[in-house]
Amino acid sequence: MSLEELHSIFSVFALPIFDLSSNILRRTSRMADWTECMNYGIHIAREAREVILHAFRIKKAVMLKSSPADLVTETDQRVERMLISAIKAKYPHHKFIGEESVAAGEKLILTDSPTWIIDPIDGTANFVHRFPFVAISIAFAVNKQTEFGIVYSCIEDKLYSAQRGRGAFCNDIPLATSGQEDITKCLLVTEIGAERDQLALATMTSNIHRLLEIPVHGIRAVGTAAVDMCLISTGGADAYYHIGMHCWDIAASALIVSEAGGVVIDTNGSEFDMMARRVIAASSMSVARRIAQAIQAFPCERDDDPRAHPQKAQIEHSTDSGNDVHKKAGGHRRL
């Protein structure tokens, strides 16, 4: 019998006991210490990094998902399977939202249950091209609130982490944003994303144009949303904005930014919603609001919209990364 069916029976008898028990769950989760869970997450991220470092150097089979720029490799899929099976072995009742599981057709539903939100390789296009910014992103949410976040920038060997209410760190060194409040003194980061339709491209380029003419000091794109946002937490950049990314790209780094003293809001200026596929992370609210005022968003299906279509990986060739490229039967290119 599902929790909802149980709730409906108890509520018919107006038994307060059930409400009491769900309140107890909420209160205990608030009091719960998820440190042990986070340390386990860090442990398996370190193991996953070894797989990524090995694969980074060798030829790759590359597949396409939602667009010719939305790449996935067997390593993305293998690392996600490895992380999820390691977590299931220790926490069998926990739930998962994994980028490649969703791409393979799993439903994306965030409940109040303890849930791991995983991007096995954030920056897959970088990984394919051996552009050295490739991250593992692991967030952990209870009652739909992120309790800890881990972003491991694998090639740089920078492990960013934060637990709600306990600060943000990179390789155990405390992090703090720049605190910059003057937009004209800001270095921004953003992402072009995988969208290649005319509306998205026009919106992205006009946003860059409008921000540059404020003026701001500059705009960068590292190629991984997770690392982009961690740069805000280090003070190495002052603000990040992006439309079109997914919850797994930023759930962990959103907590890392806020625990480093930054602000994270929706591009429309409202409260951040990790499923809305829009984010501004900044050193201060004044900078965040100034960016929200300057940019426009293009329409994106929410991640948790049941109509959102999984982007099944199509066996296809992909970009020629300048490595040895040779065709395989079935149009499958190895890079």
Binding site for ligand LZGB4YJL (CB under 6 A): 70, 99, 119, 121-124, 191-194, 224-225, 245, 249
Tell the smallest beta-carbon distance from residue 158 to ligand LZGB4YJL (Å). 16
Catalytic residues: 99, 119, 121-122, 124, 249
Closest to 119 measured CA to CA, from 158, 150, 155: 150
Tell the smallest beta-carbon distance from residue 222 to ligand LZGB4YJL (Å). 8
Asked if residue 213 belongs to a known ligand binding site, the reply is: no
Tell the smallest beta-carbon distance from residue 181 to ligand LZGB4YJL (Å). 26
Quick one: 122 or 228, whose CB is closer to Mg ion? Answer: 122
Quick one: 121 or 281, whose CB is closer to Mg ion? Answer: 121
Closest to 317 measured CA to CA, from 191, 128, 53, 99: 128
Q: Please choose which of ligand LZGB4YJL, Mg ion, none residue 219 contacts, taking the beta carbon within 5 to 8 angstroms, the exact cut-off set by kind.
A: none
Closest to 151 measured CA to CA, from 121, 130, 128, 124: 121
Instruction: Name the phi and psi angles at 97, rounded to 5.
Output: -125, 110
Asked if residue 249 belongs to a known ligand binding site, the reply is: yes
Handedness of CA 165, 167, 169, 172 (dihedral sign): negative
* CA dist., res. 239 & res. 61, Å (int): 35
Tell the smallest beta-carbon distance from residue 316 to ligand LZGB4YJL (Å). 16
Quick one: 72 or 168, whose CB is closer to ligand LZGB4YJL? Answer: 72
Name the one range near Mg ion by CB under 5 A: 4-12, 155-163, 248-256, 297-305.
248-256
Quick one: 114 or 193, whose CB is closer to Mg ion? Answer: 193
Quick one: 124 or 234, whose CB is closer to ligand LZGB4YJL? Answer: 124
∠ CA 133-224-235 to the nearest 5 degrees? 85
271 Cα distance to chain centroid: 17
Asked if residue 183 belongs to a known ligand binding site, the reply is: no
Q: Please choose which of ligand LZGB4YJL, Mg ion, none residue 193 contacts, taking the beta carbon within 5 to 8 angstroms, the exact cut-off set by kind.
A: ligand LZGB4YJL
Packing angle of the helix pair 16-31, 3-12 (nearest 10 deg): 130
Tell the smallest beta-carbon distance from residue 19 to ligand LZGB4YJL (Å). 40
Tokens in use for 263? 């602000």
Residues 73-112 interacting with Mg ion (rule: CB under 5 A): 99
Interface pattern 106-125 for Mg ion (x via CB under 5 A) = -------------x-xx---
Closest to 137 measured CA to CA, from 3, 257, 241: 257
Tokens in use for 128? 């394919």
Task: Find the radius of gyration of the CA atoms of the chain.
Answer: 20
Judged on CB neighbours under 10 Å (0-12, 13-18, 19+), 97 is buried
Asked if residue 76 belongs to a known ligand binding site, the reply is: no
Quick one: 121 or 138, whose CB is closer to Mg ion? Answer: 121
Tell the smallest beta-carbon distance from residue 236 to ligand LZGB4YJL (Å). 17
* CA dist., res. 65 & res. 16, Å (int): 48
Buried b (16+ CB within 10 A) or exposed e, 228-259: bbbbbbbbebbbbbbbbbbbbbbbbbbbbbbb
Binding flag, residue 303, Mg ion (CB under 5 A): no
Asked if residue 118 belongs to a known ligand binding site, the reply is: no
- Residues of the shown chain interacting with Mg ion in the complex, contacts defined by CB under 5 A: 99, 119, 121-122, 249
Return binding residues for Mg(2+).
99, 119, 121-122, 249
